[in-house]
Chain A
Amino acid sequence: MKYVIIGNSAAGVGAVEAIRKNDVGGRITIITDEPHHTYSRPLISYLLLGKTTRERMKYRGDGFYTEYGCELLRQKRVTAIDLADKSVRCSDGDVIPYDKLLVATGSSPLVPPMEGLEQVKNKYTFSSLDDALALEGALAPNSRVLIIGAGLIGLKCAEGIRARVGSVTVVDLAPKALSSILDDEASARAREHLEQNGLRFYLGDSVKTFDGDTASLRSGARVEFDILVLAVGVRPNTALLGDVGGDVGRGITVNEYMETSIPDIYAAGDCTQSVDISAGDIKVMALLPNAYMQGECAGFNMSGIRYPFDKAIPCNAIGFFGMHIITAGSYTGETYFEADGENYKKLFYSDNRLRGFILMGPKPGHGSGPSGARPAYEKAGIYTSLIRERTPLDTIDFGLICKTPGLMAFSKKTREQKLGGEQ
């Protein structure tokens, strides 16, 4: 069996690890347009922050490809899939045949058209290791950095470089920071914390024109900068599959076995769209845990084991300057809410199911008072599990679990199974 995997990140690695649980002899070829050993993309901001290194941010150890018996083809870009021939064509002219193909092509930074952008010299995106290294090369202690985008990518970038530059200004069309994962109240708290740590915001605003090193905003404000970072969002890389008539929405359409609409072609990770079971709708959930689990699912099915992955939900665990945020699911329905000066907990529930949650708190050991010892995000997985497993809330002590996440809220029988059986 010839397996070809396009992409060398979480989904691709997940597929390799699953294939080898089932097929030790098949030939696995991984193709990546990057020059690097597999690395964790979300760690690029930690690299700039100095909290990790090139070595430690490797997603798997140096021996990974040898241990799993796969060939890694670096700096090679797949330009087309040939369905008749069952092969992929590369920009260097190589043709690589497959029996089973995994498209794990990830996503690319979205760069919206903005007047004068072409003339801006020092502009960067922030999605890959090379992006981060290029940005790092431009940083100077007195640099004024302008970041377009107050989402996860833009703000992680801001945190990563804040101590290494003169100033960081963030502009976003959305009226609040982290609008994709926080409600208004949580977002206001996050913004205050980020401002206290030296970020300056122009929210509900956007760049009208760039004139060299000056951005004129629609509000009339002018921001001078030396370095521009574009972190507006990402777009799934769907073209390879779309070009051969595969079913593509915002992302590549896959079923619960990660099969695309074309036989023997699978897709996984940030390039796909799938069902969010917390809301019941289809969306792009470009998150590393989902990417790994989709890749793993694809790997099992490519190697002949029928294995579904049908429990995807949006979820994020992220921190900024010592404030930790864990969120999951959808923010609809009734709410349970508690907060103090440092902690924030909001649970969303409807129709006897937990739908989502937002948890924020200080880093461990840094809280004050009784709640400081137990930040609000501790044991968050208990809540995630209720969403993922669609646990009927009338089968647990919901009042108790809202206050104190734990196994205590489950029936004695369920606890016995959880603590006395194999999981």
Chain B
Amino acid sequence: MKRVYVNEQWCLGCHLCEYYCAFAGTNERDMARALKGITINPNIRIEEYGNVSFAVSCRHCTQPLCVKGCITGALTQGDGVITVDKDKCISCYTCVLSCPFGAIAPSPDGAVSKCEMCVKSLEGVPQCVEGCPNSAIVYEER
């Protein structure tokens, strides 16, 4: 299946992926208007240290510890994509405990937040990839 992959050597550390991710979640048309003045809670995060930077988001594992460990059944995998049913999630954070990539985040909205490869967004394809200016994040079959 197609997944989001990260090419560390091309990452500029510009954080645009984080903004595109947060924007995709809003289902608005204008990014500046949608994100002005808010603290974004993106599902892709840049790790930076010294002169190294790279983006991390859900790997949509074939053996997903988050899905297997989810105590409510809120996390499921369909067509390879792991999504969260925010109605069922009770924010116990067993998935935060389980994810080896640190890719599921607590969120103030009462459910966990993670990359769902934009399957629920208007665009339908990962917006972090669309917004990356240097092909450091790609959406492809490997």
The residues of A with any CB-CB pair to B shorter than 8 Å are 10, 14, 40, 42-43, 46, 51-52, 56-61, 288-289, 292-293, 296, 315-319, 324, 326, 328, 363-366, 373, 375, 377-382, 384-385, 388-389, 400, 404-408, 412, 415-416, 418-423
Contact = CB atoms under 8 A, between A and B. Distances in A.
A406 B100 contact: no
B3 A422 contact: yes
Contact of A406 (B6, B56, B59, B97): B56
A384 B88 contact: no
B23 interface: no
Interface residues of B, number: 44
Interface string B72-105: 1100000000000001101111111111111011
Interface string B110-142: 000000000000000000000000000000001
Given A42-B71, A293-B69, A422-B62, A379 B93 contact: no
A389 to B, nearest CB: 8
A421 B6 CA distance: 9
Contact of B108 (A316, A364, A385): A364
Contacts of B72: 40, 43, 52, 56-57, 59
B19 interface: no
A408 B13 CA distance: 14
B20 interface: no
Contacts of B7: 420
Contacts of B88: 52, 56
Contacts of A315: 97-98
A59 B106 CA distance: 21
Given A406-B56, A406-B102, A408-B52, A377 B68 contact: no
Interface of B: 3, 5-8, 39, 47-49, 52, 54, 56, 59-63, 65, 68-69, 71-73, 87-88, 90-102, 104-108, 142
A382 B101 contact: yes
A120 B109 CA distance: 42
Interface of B is mostly: loop
Contact of A43 (B68, B71, B105): B71
- Of all A-B residue pairs in the complex, the 7 with the closest CB atoms, nearest first, are A379-B102, A289-B69, A365-B108, A385-B100, A381-B99, A423-B61, A419-B6
A58 B73 contact: yes
Given A382-B102, A420-B6, A423-B59, A364 B107 contact: yes
Given A60-B73, A400-B49, A380 B59 contact: no
A422 B142 contact: yes
B73 A324 contact: no
A163 to B, nearest CB: 16
A289 B56 contact: no
A382 B91 contact: no
A381 B97 contact: yes
Given A288-B69, A289-B94, A419-B5, 4 more contacts: A59-B73, A317-B94, A317-B97, A380-B97
A182 to B, nearest CB: 15
A353 B85 CA distance: 35
Given A58-B73, A406-B47, A422-B62, A415 B96 contact: no
Contacts of A10: 71
